[in-house]
Amino acid sequence: MRVGTGYDVHKLAGGRKLILGGVEIPYEKGLSGHSDADVVVHAIMDALLGAAALRDIGYHFPDSDPAYQGVSSLKLLEKVGEMLEEKLYLVENIDATIVAQRPRLRPYLDQMAENVASVLHLESDQVNIKATTEEGLGFTGAMEGIAASAVCALSRALDSIEDDRMGKTCNGCGGCPPAR
């Protein structure tokens, strides 16, 4: 089992849509950033990449690359999922927390989790997204920005397959590597 964590922050700004978990949320401000600035999906991507030791989202999707200007973070998450599949990783679960004083996010959390699960081809009970406030404290409490953190667990597909090619015929010659 491999575990990864992710964290992201973006400033709130006028003239932008507020996108969280791939859901457009009605609000007078959105998050500033090169892509759609979806902090919760960014935190999830960093958690997944970290668990697989595949660096971070800035490495794979640099904000200096015009190809990612305004791109949906769910599209980037899909690419992260493909990277994990190439390395034969299975996502066991994802748990994410959004920190925002406003707007109230409860009505949108289930759709956010459903979006992430769908993009990564997961069951709905493998993704949990929740929200909290900082009781008016810090930059999120002052409504200057929104933060998100995520943790995930991965396993390797090959680790779940028993290798019994030797069966009961092993002579104990010592030529096989020790079992993991």
The answer to the question of whether 36 is labelled as a binding residue is: no
Number of domains present in the structure of the chain:
1
For 92-104, the pLDDT digits (tens) are 999 999 999 999 9
The answer to the question of whether 57 is labelled as a binding residue is: yes
pLDDT of 164 higher than 80: no
Cα separation, 48 vs 4, whole angstroms: 6
176, part of any domain: no
Which of 42-51, 68-77, 136-145, 164-173 has the least mean pLDDT? Answer: 164-173
For the chain, the average pLDDT equals 93
167, part of any domain: no
Which of 78-92, 105-119, 136-150, 154-168 has the least mean pLDDT? Answer: 154-168
2, part of any domain: yes
125: domain CATH number is 3.30.1330.50
Asked whether the beta carbons of 45 and 80 are under 8 A apart, the reply is yes
168, part of any domain: no
The answer to the question of whether 125 is labelled as a binding residue is: no
80, part of any domain: yes
- Range of the structural domain that residue 97 is part of: 1-157
The answer to the question of whether 121 is labelled as a binding residue is: no
79, part of any domain: yes
The answer to the question of whether 114 is labelled as a binding residue is: no
81, part of any domain: yes
pLDDT of 33 higher than 60: yes
112, part of any domain: yes
Output the pTM of the full model: 0.88
Within 10 Å of residue 31's Cβ, how many Cβ atoms? 25
Going from the C-alpha of 92 to that of each of 4, 11, 138, 151, the distances in angstroms are 12, 31, 33, 11
Q: What is the mean pLDDT of residues 35-56?
A: 98
Contacts (Cβ under 8 Å, ≥6 apart) of 137 = none
**What per-residue confidence (pLDDT) applies to 179?**
60
Outline where DSSP puts E strands in the chain.
Answer: 2-13, 18-20, 23-25, 30-31, 89-99, 127-132, 145-156
The answer to the question of whether 9 is labelled as a binding residue is: yes
**What per-residue confidence (pLDDT) applies to 57?**
97
Q: What is the mean pLDDT of residues 146-164?
A: 87
